[in-house]
Amino acid sequence: MKKQIVFFDIDGTLLTDDKIIPQSTKKAIQLLQAQGIYTAIATGRVSNMFYWVQKELNMESYVSMNGQYVVFEGQQVYANPIGREILDSLAAMAHKNGHALAYFNHQDYRVNKQNHPLIETSFDSLLMPYPEVDENFYKQESIYLGHLYCESKDEQIYKESFPTLNLLKWHDNAYDILPIGASKAVGISKLLENFDIPVENSFAFGDGLNDLEMLATVGTGIAMGNAVPEAKAAADLITTSSSEDGILNGLIEVGLLDKRLIPA
C-alpha cells in the first residue's frame, strides 16, 4: 500500500471563523485515517495552542510554528531554534521602541508585556486568553518562533535591522518572526524525507499567506474558498470555504474520498 499524507492548516481551514471544527471535516478525516492515509496539522501555532484540535481529530503528526518544529506520529523529526544573540538584539530594539514580543518554545509561549493592547487584540482574534508574561522566557528556552506586535508603519525598521529574519504578518498589527527560509514547506519536506513518503503522494489544505510555499511544494495543494488570493494562486485547485464543507469537498475532488461511500 502506498504511503499518502494530507496536511491541514488550522485557522480558516480546519477551523471556521468561529473556531469550530465542522462535522463534515471530522467525518472526512476519520475516513482518511480508516484508509491508512496519514493526516497531519501544518500551522503557525505552537502545540499548546492546538492540542485540543489534535485530540479531537486524532492527529499525532504536525508541522508547527511555520515549519520550525516537526513531529511525526509522536516523534520529533526536525527542530530549528532561533539564535540567542538575535533574540537579545530583538528584545532590546522592541524595548527601545515600546513594542511587544512573544516567544515560543516547542510547546508553550510567553509574552514580554502585561496588558498590551495589540497582544490582546491578536489573541482575541484566536478566541484565546491573554498569555502568561515572562520577558526572560527566551533566555531559558530554545525559541523557534517569535511574535512582534507593532503598527504596520514600524515593520520596516525591524526588517532592515534583522536581515536574517522574516516577518510574516498574521494579524493587523502582529507578525510571526522566523529565520529567513523557514516555512511550512521546509518542515513538510523534512517529514517526507525522514519517512520516505514521495512528494507526489502529499496533499495540503491552506488559506493564508503562511501557506503559500506549502501549497506550491506538496504534490497537490488545495486552497480553501475563503483563502487569500495569493494562496488560491499558489494552489492546484480551490475548494469551498471552511464553513461550507471545504475539507470534505476538496478530498472528494482530489480522489482521496469516494463521494458514494460517504454517509448522508
- Report whether 197 contacts 174 (CB < 8 A): no
Q: Which residues pair with 176 in a beta bridge?
A: 147, 168
Q: Which residues pair with 148 in a beta bridge?
A: 101, 175
What the block records as the C-alpha cell of 50 is 492546538
Residue ranges of alpha helices (H) inside 107-200 are 117-125, 137-140, 155-161, 184-194
**How many C-beta neighbours within 10 Å does residue 255 have?**
8
Of 9, 11, 207, 211, which one is the catalytic site residue? 9
What's at 135, amino acid-wise? E
Query: Can you tell me whether residue 33 is helix, strand or coil?
Result: helix
What's at 80, amino acid-wise? N
Residue 236 is a catalytic residue: no
Q: Which residues of 106-139 are buried (b: 16+ CB within 10 A; e: fewer)?
A: beebbbbbeebebbeebbeeeeeeebeeebebbe
**Interatomic CA distance for residues 100 and 220, integer angstroms:** 38
Tell me the catalytic residues: 9
